[in-house]
Amino acid sequence: MNLNNVKYLCSATSPADYPRHNLPEIALAGRSNVGKSSLINQMVNRNRFAHTSSKPGKTQTLNFYNIDNIFSFVDLPGYGFARVPDEVKDKWSEMIEEYLFHRSNLAGVILIVDARHEPTDDDLMMYEWLLEMQLPHLVVGTKVDKLSNSQLKPNRKQIFDKLRLEPQTPFTYFSAEEGTGKNEVWSFIKEITS
Ligand code: GDP
């Protein structure tokens, strides 16, 4: 994978709009504004490839990206944004559920949580879906550049406790600013797409 051939494929709100390809897909799940697009950009060494925004709740579609014709990143709609009406929230969870439960290309999920805070009930619900579906997964604590060294251990414990992760659950800290954790994310992607 030399990352010379990365491209945006399409955005979709329902299965009819998903791309028809045979690529394994790695879905990125997390609260809106947690840093999903930034993680994609850091992974493919681009600044403005996946759309990033400082406005929570902007990504309301599933966004598909082709990475060197080897796999596809799928940026799922961010959940847990408080200031939207219930109908909109329902639509989001419907989109996510539809994709996670039925998409045969789905190879694994990267669940992204904010390293600074205790994961939310929505994060826990998402993690429980992944377990229920027995999907290969990696939990990522992003924005680690905002933690001091003394916070690394307690915050990791906070994430493991809230999500009830097993000691062997794959986890890495990540920073889209500094590239921390990139190797760990690549290892996970390679493991499940090879
Ligand atoms: P998305 O809604 O999950 O796709 O989130 P974005 O990728 O658009 O990021 C939301 C905001 O968080 C943006 O202002 C990013 O610059 C910022 N951000 C994302 N990842 C990191 C990170 O690792 N470190 C820091 N310091 N900021 C980040």
Per-residue pLDDT reduced to its tens digit, 125-173: 999 999 999 999 999 999 999 999 999 999 999 999 999 999 999 999 9
Please tell me what DSSP assigns to residue 118: P
Residue 127 burial class via C-beta count within 10 angstroms: exposed 0-12, middle 13-18, buried 19 and up: buried
Residue 89 has a pLDDT of: 72
The answer to whether the CB of 105 is under 6 A from ligand 1 is no
- Please tell me the residue having the least CA distance from ligand 1 atom 28: 143
Q: Which of 38, 96, 122 to mutate to test the pocket of ligand 1 (most atoms within 8 A of CB)?
A: 38
Distance CA 119, CA 57 (A): 18
Ramachandran quadrant class, 96 (left: phi over 0; alpha: psi -120 to 50; beta: rest): alpha
Q: Round to whole Å and give the CA distance between 55 and 167.
A: 34
User: What are 116's two structure tokens?
Assistant: 């600074």
| pLDDT tens digits, 67-100 | 999 999 999 988 876 666 777 777 888 899 999 9
The CATH number of domain 6-193 is 3.40.50.300: yes
Cα 176 to ligand 1 centroid, rounded to whole Å: 7
Write out the DSSP string of 140-187.
EEE-GGGS-HHHHHHHHHHHHHHHT--TTS-EEE--TTT-TTHHHHHH
Q: What is the pLDDT of residues 19-33, one digit of tens each?
A: 999 999 999 999 988
At 110-122, the pLDDT tens digits run: 999 999 999 999 9
Residue-level pLDDT at 86: 76
Model's pTM, two decimal places? 0.94
Torsion sign, CA atoms 33, 190, 162, 106: positive
Q: What is the pLDDT of residue 52?
A: 61
Instruction: Residue 115: name the closest of 145, 93, 83 by CA.
Output: 145
3-state class (DSSP) for residue 93: helix
Per-residue pLDDT tens digits for 10-21: 999 999 999 999
Q: Tell me if 176 CB under 6 Å of ligand 1.
A: yes
Instruction: Return the domain boundaries, the chain.
Output: 6-193
Could you give the CA distance from residue 140 to residue 82 in angstroms, rounded to a whole number? 22
**55 pLDDT more than 70:** no
pLDDT of res. 50? 81
CB of 78 closer than 6 angstroms to any ligand 1 atom:
yes
**Confidence tier at 105 by pLDDT (50, 70, 90):** very high
Q: Is the CB of 30 under 6 A from ligand 1?
A: yes
What is the C-alpha to C-alpha distance for residues 88 and 187, in angstroms, rounded to an integer? Answer: 35
pLDDT value, residue 14: 93
Beta strands in 80-133 (DSSP E): 106-114
- Nearest-CA residue for ligand 1 atom 6 is 35
- Helices 121-132 and 149-163: crossing angle in degrees, nearest 10, is 60
